[in-house]
Every structure is written in structure tokens, then in C-alpha cells.
Chain A
Amino acid sequence: MAFISSGYNPEKPMENRITDIGPRKYDEFYPPVIAANKGKWLYHEILQPGVLVHVAESGDEVYTVRCGGARIMSTTHIREICEIADKHCGGHVRWTTRNNIEFMVDNKSKLQPLLDDLAGRKFAGGSFKFPVGGTGAGVSNIVHTQGWIHCHTPATDASGPVKAVMDEVFADFQNHRMPAPVRVSLACCLNMCGAVHCSDIAILGYHRKPPMLDHEYLDKMCEIPLAIAACPTAAIKPAKVEINGQKLNSVAVNADRCMFCGNCYTMCPSMPLADTEGDGIVIMAGGKVSNRISAPKFSKVVVAFIPNEAPRWPKTSQVIKNMIEVYANDARKYERLGEWAERIGWERFFEKCELDFTHHLIDDFRDPAYYTWRQTTQFKF
């Protein structure tokens, strides 16, 4: 490999440097029909799962085909998306907040050829490259974090469980039989880069063991005051240890206070906490962000722990699939999963979903815990 210079001169980093320009402006990328009708849309209709039409005051229409996408995407795949967008959409394409790809055409006659083209594209392993769906009262694409593919503190993988769960609920990605949208999300540790705490169903990676301490190397690799300061619960203290007759500076972890967040490992590589048996998945349910009918809600922990079962996480997938099925059959039209659980009562939720209620599910963390306990005679037998 020969180093290819971009023109950057490391001796003079400020020479010709361009900074603070931000992203490209949104309207450089609008398809013409969007640019012409922005702010003048009258209404929309979902023609079939994954296919929308928006109609403007001018009478213009834009047909959108929404395709599920894996968040991990190669340039090979992006180039294929470009090829499709050039062929059908005048060189325009967009992504949704939930990792879906949207192809837009400005005339109904262009819709079917686009759909046919997308349907025929499969990966070598047999999966769809561009499954159409993710609209209305169905299960939408799972938003997620990095997991084992790129993160240093994950308690589970992200892309793997997402693929496994989406395969399991795939029919409902392409259907509108749910009472309301079901939004599933995954965060691979409790730092929640993915902010899954307001999802209908959240898959959360969780460690259950405090960090190991590599005493012999700790003081050489890490700055102890920084490791101590990294702990959100002040569970880490400086400590002197004796290893092979040598007195060494290190740290001690108060296991009772450790919430298994991994922040210390970020600052100090001599405090790894990943563990085959310790790590796994917490399932949360009943959150939402929409203000529709009821206020936004946090998700609640409904399964305290499921081991990591790579490569297909069967127990996680099964719990989620079952919860969705019970909800689909029992909830009223327009009722989100959390609204349904509140109407029937959480005691009934656990019964109907055949989930064990263990002591782990009773909140015991600081003040907010009290507000989750029952303070009324109204409950169900």
C-alpha cells in the first residue's frame, strides 16, 4: 500500500483547512416533487404496507416505498441503493429515523416497476435486500446500537438479535394487523446510546458482574483517579494490593454498589466486565414517545434476564413474538402496548403473556421506585 495524500499537510494542519461547515443543506437533496410541494401537503394514504402516497395542494403526488434495512450497511449495498434510485427515482433516496430506506417516485406508473425491482433483489444467503413494509399498525424496523461489532461495553450483540427478532416478526413488518404501531428497539448496554427507554418493546443488554481487576497492570495502563471518577455510583475506591510480593496501586470495587455500566472500563482497560454467563438481555415493554391519546411513557422491565444465545437468541425472540401476539389479539384498536397493559393491569399483563414476575421487577432504585408500588385497593385477582 502506498499512502495516498488527500492534499492534507500534517506539518501545517491549519493550511487550507476548512472547518465548521456543518452538513450539506437539506434542500440540495430534495427530489423535485418534494421541493415543489414542501409545506403544501394535503393528506397521505398507505396504499399497502410499506407503500405511501402523499397528495399536495397542487395535485402533485409522491409515492414512497419504504424498505427495511440493516443499520450496518456496506458501500456495496449503498451503491446498489444508488443504482435503484437512479433507475427509478431520478437519483434521490432517503432514510427514515428507524433505518428504513425510502424510494420515492412522482407518478403512480413508476410504482409497480419499482416494487417489482425491489422484490427481486436478494442477498446470496437468501434474505431480502429490500423488504417493503414498516408502515402503519405493524411492527417497525428495530432501531439499535453497535453491540459486539464495534462497542467496548456491550452486554449483548445488536445486529444479531435484531436480525433474529426481525426474522421472527417479519410477517408483521409487512402487515397492518396490530392495534397500533409496535416500535421495538435495542440498546446493547444500559448507557443506552439507543435511548430505548420509551419503546413498546425494548431489548436491553445488561451485565450482571462487576468489572474484573487486572491489578498487575492497572496502575500501568490506567490513571486511577479517572477510573474512580468514571463511576456513577461511587463504587470504586483506590486500593493497595500485593501481587507476587509486590505492593501495587490499584482500585477496589464495592460490588453492592456496582450497576454494571462499564464506564470504568471506558476509562481503564484493566477493568473489563464482559462475561459469558454474566451478560445477557433485559426485556422492557410498554413505552412510547407519541403524545397520541395518552402521554409519552417509559418502558418497564418485564423480563429481568435472558442469557445471550448467539447466533439466533431464540428465547429473546420467542418472548417478544409471544408478547406481540398476545397484544395483537387482546388490545383495542389504537391502543399502544403500554396503554393496553395499563388498562388490563400489569398483573393481568404478566398472566396473559405468561411471564414470571420475579423480585427483580420491583423497582428499588432511589425515589422513583416508590411511585411504581401499588397504593390503592384497586387491583385484580
Chain B
Amino acid sequence: MAKHQTPLLDQLESGPWPSFVSDLKQQAEKRAKNAEGLDFQVPVDVVDDLMGLLELSFKQGRTHWKHGGIVGVFGYGGGVIGRYCDQPQMFPGVAHFHTMRVAQPGGKFYTTEFLRQLCDIWDLRGSGITNMHGSTGDIVLLGTTTPQLEEIFFELTHNMNQDLGGSGSNLRTPSDCIGQARCEYACYDTQDLCYDLTQEYQDELHRPAFPYKFKFKFDGCPNCCVASIARSDMSFIGTWKDDIKIDQKAVQAYIGGELAPNAGAHSGKNWGKFDIQKEVIERCPTECMVMDGKTLKINNRECTRCMHCINVMPRALRIGDERGLSIFAGAKAPILDGAQMGTLIVPFIEAEAPYTKIKETVIEPIWDWWMEEGKNRERLGELMKRQGLQKVIEVLGVDPDPRMVQEPRHNPYIFWKEEEVEGGFQRDINEFRKHHLR
């Protein structure tokens, strides 16, 4: 018998999509039965009370959570989000219900051994409810009490060799796409760069000293499956400089209909016979492709690597071999001055371990600048807007590059610096007056 009646939530049990309500219910039942005889370290009916509280929110259309300032375990400034419910008498099981962020492995690959160990800790010391995964990428453990935080951290680090993720004004847990692990488009090893930087910058991840949050995300190619260009302060997107490799036989196989375009992604509708002219060549944003008889030709120098032709004909076209990545800076969600997309600050850089050049010539100078100049709660993108792209170029010590802009400036208000103008700003008015009467 359920502890609370949940007639509204119950209506989310029907329908085909996996029902989180059904899942919460099976978890509540499992805890109530406690077949394994666990000495639960948080209330046994925590999930019942979570559902009861959620039902109340569904009924009233309002949240019942309060924020708490608790941040983490001793010495860490992030990894835990404090939560208290505003109806603790009605729902004592969730009176204290903190979140822990656990750093996810690259590509979100797991062994069942690891997942079970994590479940064991979380069944004993928390609600047993998780997010797989949070928006930033962490494994999110949803709901435990303050005394359990250190215990969970101790078991994670000692028994699982596993650390917490970031929150607050920290480097947030970096996240990556599946990359070379299982994708032929990946131009660099996203998981290795992600892991390397995560390890290198553990101090930045756990001990907040930034003006605000800072996110790294790693996309292996311009398809941007982890959306790095939209939601990371520093976005690393794989690219290449040389020629797209063409298998002319496979091109003919697409034309002939033996191979399904776009790897079968459009199989649900009859779009007619594949037409390379209409679907690939005319769709190319730079018009750099042409069929010359039976040969597909690409003017690679004009290609902007949008991936469309490769996506449509993955067995005929492959990314080039001179690979690396582009770096974009300053993406963020709208608050305050509107959403920002990442701006190109490094058109091309090699991505080979140990990634010294990326760290020493890009990440660290940008951080130094932002830490010194950034106002409280100012994201990197906002600082860039406030001080200008010129300043970024100066910080990086690179030459201006037309690739960094969509187009040149619209106004001529160039704030010339004194040293840029011959003779400087100091002039002799008396000398001037010899030739120009008052």
C-alpha cells in the first residue's frame, strides 16, 4: 500500500514512453520490502515522500524545494547541491534531500560492475534515485542527508577510485561525445582530451576561484552532438585541413541506390530516388562540389567542413587526415544579456597528447584574464562582449584572423591606440598655429 495517494502522478504511468512514476513506485516498493535487509542510512520511505511531495506540486503547480548553501565535502567547493523541502512535517523522508554530482567517465561507457557498486552505495546511503545523467554530464545522485555526504565521498574515493564532479564557480565536469570510440567522423580523441584536462585541472574543478561557472565540452566533429558550441565556455570541435577522402565506387553505389543515403537516417519516408545533384551538390553551402562525368570532385580549399556531404554519403566520403580542432569561447544560456554561441578564437590547433599547447597557449591565458578582469558572476562570454574580441586576441598573443569574424565591423569607430599612430598624440599647438591662424 502506497504511503501517499498520487492520483495525478498515476496518470503518467500510462502511455508508451518509460514512466518515471512507475520507476519511482518500484523503487519505493523495493525499499519497503528491503529483501536484502539493508540498514538504510536515510529514511526507508524517502521515495514515497518524494512522490507525495511531487504530487503536491502537481496539484498546486508550485515547487516545494528550498535551496541550501551546503557545497560539498570537506575541502571541496562543489559537487553537492543542498536541498530542503518546505513541507518537512508532511514529508519527513525528504526534509533534507541533497544532490551529489559524481564525475562521469568519458563517453559515458560503464561496466556493470561499476554501476552495481555505485547502486550499492546509493541504496544504503541515499534515496536510490539518480539522474543518468545531469545536463552537464555528471551522474547525479538525487537525495541524501548531510551526515551521509562525507561517508559517500569516502566510499566513492576509497572503494571505487571515483571522484565528485563540479558545481558553483568551478570548472564544471567536462563532457565529451562518443568520438573515436565508435564514430568515424571524430577528428580527435575527445575522450582523451576530456580526461587529460579533467585530471590536469582537478584543483579548478573542486576549489572555486573563478568569477562564475566554466564549462569545457568536446565535440569530435562539426556535427556537435554534445552541443559544445552552444553551452560551453570553451568548446573544442574537431576539424581537418586537408582533403575529404573520396571513394568514387561508393559514390556510384549511392547514386545507383545500392547504399542508403545518410546511413539510413531517412528510411521512414519515401523521398524518391537519391539525387546527388539535388541532395548533396546543391545543398553544399560553399558550392565546392561538382560531378565531372562519373567522378565527384571537391574543391577542398573552398570547403568549410559542414559535414553535410559526409553525413549523406558516409561510405563514400571520409574526413581528411590532417586533423585537429577549433576552439570556440564564450557560449552560455540567455541570462543576462541574451544567449551566446561560442566565438571562434583558435581556428586550428593540433590535438595530440599531452596537449601542452592547448593548455599553455589557450586555456591558461584565457583563465588568467577572466580571473583578473571578470566581475562576480560574469561568464567568459560576457567578459568577451564587455572587453571585445581584440582583447581575446591580445590575451592569446595571436594575429587577428578574418576567420574569427563573420564580417568586418559595421562602424568606423576604431579606437586607435597612441602607439599605432605615427608621431603619437602629443602635438605642438604653436607649431600648428604657424600655418593655421586663430
Please tell me if A378 contacts chain B, counting CB pairs below 8 Å.
Answer: no
A114–B165 alpha-carbon span in the complex (Å): 33
Q: Mark A122-151, 1 if CB is under 8 A from B, else 0.
A: 011111111100011110000111111111
- The segment out of A187-195, A243-251, A345-353 that lies at the interface is A187-195
Please tell me if B260 contacts chain A, counting CB pairs below 8 Å.
Answer: yes
- The segment out of B118-126, B293-301, B392-400 that lies at the interface is B118-126
Task: Report the minimal beta-carbon distance from A58 to chain B, rounded to whole angstroms.
Answer: 13
Q: Does B64 lie within 8 Å of A135, measured CB to CB?
A: no
Q: Does B151 lie within 8 Å of A45, measured CB to CB?
A: no
Task: Report the minimal beta-carbon distance from A234 to chain B, rounded to whole angstroms.
Answer: 10
A156–B112 alpha-carbon span in the complex (Å): 34
A24–B115 alpha-carbon span in the complex (Å): 12
Please tell me if A320 contacts chain B, counting CB pairs below 8 Å.
Answer: no
CB contacts under 8 Å to A, within B1-42, are 8-27, 30, 39-41
Q: Does A26 lie within 8 Å of B195, measured CB to CB?
A: yes
Given contacts A176-B267, A195-B230, A291-B306, contact A128 B334 (CB under 8 A): no
A136–B17 alpha-carbon span in the complex (Å): 19
Task: Report the minimal beta-carbon distance from B70 to chain A, rounded to whole angstroms.
Answer: 13
Q: Mark A180-206, 1 if CB is under 8 A from B, else 0.
A: 010000010011111111100000000
Please tell me if B216 contacts chain A, counting CB pairs below 8 Å.
Answer: no
Q: Does A73 lie within 8 Å of B132, measured CB to CB?
A: yes
Given contacts A74-B26, A195-B230, A310-B8, contact A167 B21 (CB under 8 A): no
Please tell me if A70 contacts chain B, counting CB pairs below 8 Å.
Answer: yes
Q: Does B109 lie within 8 Å of A30, measured CB to CB?
A: yes
Question: Chain B: how many interface residues by the 8 Å CB criterion?
Answer: 149
The residue that B135 contacts in the complex, of A125, A143, A290, with Cβ under 8 A, is A143
A210–B114 alpha-carbon span in the complex (Å): 45
The residue that A176 contacts in the complex, of B14, B83, B178, B266, with Cβ under 8 A, is B266
Q: Does A93 lie within 8 Å of B155, measured CB to CB?
A: no
The residue that A311 contacts in the complex, of B58, B105, B180, with Cβ under 8 A, is B58
Q: Mark A1-41, 1 if CB is under 8 A from B, else 0.
A: 11111111010011011111111111111110010001101
Q: Does A126 lie within 8 Å of B14, measured CB to CB?
A: yes
Q: Does A21 lie within 8 Å of B180, measured CB to CB?
A: no
Q: Does B224 lie within 8 Å of A296, measured CB to CB?
A: yes
Please tell me if A217 contacts chain B, counting CB pairs below 8 Å.
Answer: no
CB contacts under 8 Å to A, within B106-143, are 106-116, 118-119, 122-124, 128-133, 135-137, 142-143
Among A41, A163, A170, the most chain B Cβ lie within 10 Å of the Cβ of: A163
Task: Report the minimal beta-carbon distance from A101 to chain B, rounded to whole angstroms.
Answer: 8
Q: Does A232 lie within 8 Å of B335, measured CB to CB?
A: yes
Please tell me if A71 contacts chain B, counting CB pairs below 8 Å.
Answer: yes
Q: Does A192 lie within 8 Å of B333, measured CB to CB?
A: yes
The residue that B97 contacts in the complex, of A5, A39, A150, with Cβ under 8 A, is A150
Q: Does B163 lie within 8 Å of A22, measured CB to CB?
A: yes
Q: Does B158 lie within 8 Å of A95, measured CB to CB?
A: no
A333–B183 alpha-carbon span in the complex (Å): 23
Q: Give the chain A neighbours of B191 by CB distance below 8 A.
A: 26-27
Task: Report the minimal beta-carbon distance from A33 to chain B, rounded to whole angstroms.
Answer: 9
Q: Does B262 lie within 8 Å of A136, measured CB to CB?
A: yes
- The segment out of B307-315, B347-355, B411-419 that lies at the interface is B307-315
Residue on A with the closest CB to B173? A23
Q: Does B17 lie within 8 Å of A166, measured CB to CB?
A: yes
A176–B263 alpha-carbon span in the complex (Å): 12
Q: Give the chain A neighbours of B230 by CB distance below 8 A.
A: 195, 197-198, 287, 289, 296
A292–B223 alpha-carbon span in the complex (Å): 6
Task: Report the minimal beta-carbon distance from B61 to chain A, rounded to whole angstroms.
Answer: 4
Residue on A with the closest CB to B260? A45
The residue that B63 contacts in the complex, of A136, A181, A274, A310, with Cβ under 8 A, is A274
Please tell me if B74 contacts chain A, counting CB pairs below 8 Å.
Answer: yes
Given contacts A43-B184, A70-B20, A279-B62, contact A127 B334 (CB under 8 A): no
A176–B132 alpha-carbon span in the complex (Å): 25
Please tell me if A285 contacts chain B, counting CB pairs below 8 Å.
Answer: no
Q: Does B202 lie within 8 Å of A20, measured CB to CB?
A: yes
Given contacts A26-B109, A150-B83, contact A7 B154 (CB under 8 A): yes
A152–B115 alpha-carbon span in the complex (Å): 29
Q: Give the chain B neighbours of A308 by CB distance below 8 A.
A: 61
Please tell me if B75 contacts chain A, counting CB pairs below 8 Å.
Answer: yes
The residue that B105 contacts in the complex, of A8, A25, A45, A365, with Cβ under 8 A, is A25
Q: Mark A156-186, 1 if CB is under 8 A from B, else 0.
A: 0101100110110010010111100100000
Dominant SS among interface residues on chain A:
loop
Q: Give the chain A neighbours of B49 by CB distance below 8 A.
A: none
Residues of A in contact with B, size category: 35 or more
Task: Report the minimal beta-carbon distance from A144 to chain B, rounded to whole angstroms.
Answer: 8
Q: Mark A255-269, 1 if CB is under 8 A from B, else 0.
A: 000010100011001
Residue on B with the closest CB to A16? B158
A125–B26 alpha-carbon span in the complex (Å): 10
Q: Does A71 lie within 8 Å of B131, measured CB to CB?
A: yes
Among A17, A130, A135, the most chain B Cβ lie within 10 Å of the Cβ of: A17
Task: Report the minimal beta-carbon distance from B316 to chain A, rounded to whole angstroms.
Answer: 9
Q: Give the chain A neighbours of B341 by CB distance below 8 A.
A: 198, 296, 298
Task: Report the minimal beta-carbon distance from B394 to chain A, rounded to whole angstroms.
Answer: 24
Given contacts A91-B113, A153-B63, contact A23 B17 (CB under 8 A): no
Please tell me if A211 contacts chain B, counting CB pairs below 8 Å.
Answer: no
A19–B106 alpha-carbon span in the complex (Å): 19
Residue on B with the closest CB to A98? B225
Q: Give the chain B neighbours of A92 by CB distance below 8 A.
A: 109-112
CB contacts under 8 Å to A, within B37-75, are 39-41, 47, 50, 54, 57-67, 74-75
Please tell me if A338 contacts chain B, counting CB pairs below 8 Å.
Answer: no
Please tell me if A49 contacts chain B, counting CB pairs below 8 Å.
Answer: yes
Task: Report the minimal beta-carbon distance from A220 to chain B, rounded to whole angstroms.
Answer: 15
A95–B97 alpha-carbon span in the complex (Å): 25
A23–B163 alpha-carbon span in the complex (Å): 6
Q: Give the chain B neighbours of A287 by CB distance below 8 A.
A: 230
Q: Does B195 lie within 8 Å of A41, measured CB to CB?
A: no
Q: Does A194 lie within 8 Å of B135, measured CB to CB?
A: yes
25 contacts between A and B (CB under 8 A): A20-B163, A30-B109, A46-B264, A46-B267, A75-B122, A79-B115, A82-B119, A93-B110, A95-B108, A125-B21, A127-B15, A127-B19, A127-B22, A138-B268, A148-B57, A150-B143, A176-B269, A178-B268, A178-B269, A198-B341, A296-B224, A298-B341, A308-B61, A311-B8, A366-B338
Further 12 A-B residue pairs, CB within 8 A, beyond A26-B105, A292-B223:
A24-B105, A26-B195, A38-B180, A74-B26, A82-B116, A123-B23, A126-B15, A127-B19, A144-B135, A195-B227, A259-B336, A298-B339
Top 9 closest pairs, chain A to chain B, by CB: A125-B13, A136-B265, A26-B106, A167-B15, A176-B268, A123-B22, A177-B268, A192-B333, A74-B27
